[in-house]
Amino acid sequence: MEEFTSGEVYQKEFDPQAYLEYFDLGSDSLGNEAVTFYLECFCKTFTPDFLKGDTLIDLGSGPCIYQFMSACESFENIIASDYLDQNLQEIEKWRKNEPGAFDWSSIGMYVCELEGKRAKWSEKEAKLRRAIQQVLKCDVTLQNPMAPLRLPPVDCVLSTECLESACKDQASYRAALSNVSSLLKPGGHLVLSGLAETTFLMVGSRKFSILFLTEKFQREALAENGFTIIQFKTQPRIDKMTMDLCDFAALYFIIAQKVKEA
């Protein structure tokens, strides 16, 4: 087992620029497989006849906005959040279209193609900039992850590769699900995606621990916290050439509905 990389380690050593290298779709990188899987799932999920609502909170956004490209078509108000100031700054840089912001256009054009719309990326980009209304600090290990703010409960919480990064063990993962549930309205949806059966992820030259998650454990932990699973999709790993960057065995995508208070 890898030594747990706590929030303090993230604060000192997580380099947003190194992490963003995973989002170069033109390269033959590890990111390709995961990002295209997530984007395809988001595209099928965030449609006006499936998941829609007013407000969506994304927990542990990292320095990224790719996860909102389909969501901005069915949610008007998107709240991005992360534990790290350096990641929030990166999102703000993109949102304000400042020099040096990461170029998301190749991923954006890929999503426009997936959605099969003629809508151009430039139009989606403007819509997305309008939709991301807040960029906030969060900590999923706190009972109220948005503390000291107290947000009104929302229709949808999204989180990708965050809980497995933030949680040290199964008990803290279960507790984090309960924390996350408190942000949702009854009947609201939790959309979780990430890396299954993984122990680490490299960001530049720094190794970050990832909690080893199995489908059985995630199903139990969600049920215990008052969620009904609507969809549980996994995709076994295809590319084994980049095991030195991350040892994930499969990707998962879950849609769960809050049926009870945790």
| Residues that bind ligand SAH in the complex, under the rule CB under 6 A | 7, 10, 14, 59-62, 64, 67, 82-84, 87, 138-141, 160-162, 165-166
- Whose Cβ is closer to ligand SAH: residue 4's or residue 259's? 4
Task: Provide, rounded to whole angstroms, the least separation between the CB of residue 194 and ligand SAH.
Answer: 8
Task: Provide, rounded to whole angstroms, the least separation between the CB of residue 49 and ligand SAH.
Answer: 25
The rounded distance, in Å, linking the Cα atoms of 170 and 157 is 21
The rounded distance, in Å, linking the Cα atoms of 138 and 149 is 9
- Whose Cβ is closer to ligand SAH: residue 125's or residue 139's? 139
The rounded distance, in Å, linking the Cα atoms of 140 and 218 is 16
- Whose Cβ is closer to ligand SAH: residue 249's or residue 259's? 249
Task: Provide, rounded to whole angstroms, the least separation between the CB of residue 153 and ligand SAH.
Answer: 19
Strand ranges, E, within 122-199: 132-137, 154-160, 184-196
- Whose Cβ is closer to ligand SAH: residue 102's or residue 121's? 102
- Whose Cβ is closer to ligand SAH: residue 103's or residue 187's? 103
Alpha-carbon torsion (236, 194, 246, 141), positive or negative: negative
- Whose Cβ is closer to ligand SAH: residue 12's or residue 96's? 12
CB-closest chain residue to ligand SAH: 62
- Collapsing DSSP to helix, strand or coil, 29 comes out as coil
**DSSP state string for 185-203:** EEEEEEEEEEEES--EEEE
Contact yes or no for 207/200 (Cβ under 8 A): yes
Task: Provide, rounded to whole angstroms, the least separation between the CB of residue 167 and ligand SAH.
Answer: 8
The rounded distance, in Å, linking the Cα atoms of 20 and 44 is 24
Task: Provide, rounded to whole angstroms, the least separation between the CB of residue 119 and ligand SAH.
Answer: 23
Task: Provide, rounded to whole angstroms, the least separation between the CB of residue 80 and ligand SAH.
Answer: 9
The rounded distance, in Å, linking the Cα atoms of 20 and 38 is 16
User: CA nearest 47: which of 13, 74, 78?
Assistant: 74
Sort strands 154-160 and 184-196 into parallel, antiparallel or unpaired: parallel
Sort strands 154-160 and 227-236 into parallel, antiparallel or unpaired: unpaired
- Whose Cβ is closer to ligand SAH: residue 16's or residue 49's? 16
Task: Provide, rounded to whole angstroms, the least separation between the CB of residue 146 and ligand SAH.
Answer: 10
